[in-house]
Amino acid sequence: MNVNTGLQVPYCTGRNVPATPIPAGACDCHHHIYDPVRFPYRATDTRNQPPATVDCYRLLQKKLGTTRNVIVEPSAYGTDNRCTLDALRVMGKENTRAVVVLDRSTTDEEIRQMHEWGVRGLRFNINSGGGPEALDEIEELAERVAPYHWSVAFWMSADLAVSMEDFLRHLPCDVVFDHRGHLPADEGTAHPAFAAICRLMEEGKAWVKLSGLYQDTKKADYADTIAVGKAYVAACPDRLVWGTDWPHPNIYDKKLDMPNDSDMLDALMQQAGTEENFRKILVDNPAVLYDFD
C-alpha cells in the first residue's frame, strides 16, 4: 500500500511514496531543470514553462527515494546550456550527470570543460526531420564527443528511428532513445522501430529510456506504454534505464493533469518483472551509461 508522506512536490500529483522498495543508488535518468528568472528561455520558446528548480527537484528525489540523476537540457533553452550546467554544479557530479545540446559553434575546450563538470551525453531533437545537413552535424558532433565516451540521445519519431537505423549504427558513440523510441500507441511493438531498436540494443549500440509513461499513450492507466516497456525488458534488460521526465513539460504544454511520479516508478516494477531487472534499470545500467562510480 502506498504511504502518504504529506510531501507535495511541484508538477507531481499525489503525496504517496512508491510502494516498491527502491534500491540504493537508484537513478532518475531523464529530468529537466527550468529557471527562467536567472536563465531566460530562447526567443522562439512558446511553452513558457514555469520554474522547476533544483530545490523543487530535490523534493521529488525525497519522495521517490532516488539518489542519482541525469539533467537533460530542455528545448526551451536551445543550445544555451547555462541553466543545466548551473544545476549540475549545484547538485554535484558525485551523484548528478547532464546531457546537453550543442552545435558546431561549441569549441573543443568547452566540451572538455563540460566533461570535467559531469556532462556525459549529447542530445538531438530531430522529430521534425533528419535531413542531410542535420545528419552531417550529428555525425560531426558525435565524433567530437566520442573521445569522452559520451552517449548521443535522440528525441525522434519511430519512423525516423527506422529510416536512420544504419546511420545510428555507425555513429562513434552509444545511442540513447528517449521515451521508448516514441512507438505509436496504436502500433506499439508492431511498429518496425521496435525491431530496429532491439537490434541496436542487442548489438551493444543502443539504450532505451523507459521514461514518461504518458508519452505516446492512449490509456489512462498507461497499459499500452507499460506493455512496450515489458517487451523491451524481455528483449534486452541490460540496455534499459528509467526517468521521470519531470517537470513533465509535454503535460504542461497540453494542459493535462500532472502524473504521479511515485505511481510511474511503481509501474517500472511491472515492466521489469523481477527485482533483478528492476535494480539493473535503476542502478546498474545508469552507472554504466552515465559513468557513475
Angle at which helix 132-145 crosses helix 108-117, to 10 degrees, equals 60
Region of 195 on the Ramachandran plot (φ > 0 left; ψ -120 to 50 alpha; else beta): alpha
Please pick, among 178, 216, 224, 245, the residue that the annotation labels catalytic: 245
Which cell is 254 given? 497540453
Q: Cα separation of 82 and 18, whole Å?
A: 32
Q: Look at residue 96 and give its three-state secondary structure.
A: strand
- Beta strand 3-4 pairing with 16-17: antiparallel
Q: Are 102 and 124 in contact (CB under 8 A)?
A: no
Q: Are 176 and 205 in contact (CB under 8 A)?
A: no
Which cell is 257 given? 493533469
253 has catalytic annotation: no
Look up residue 257 and give its DSSP letter: P
Which cell is 126 given? 530531430
Q: How long, in residues, is the chain?
A: 293
Which cell is 51 given? 520554474
Q: How many CB atoms lie within 10 A of CB 134?
A: 13
Whole-number CA gyration radius for the chain: 18
Q: Are 11 and 258 in contact (CB under 8 A)?
A: yes
Residues known to be catalytic:
245
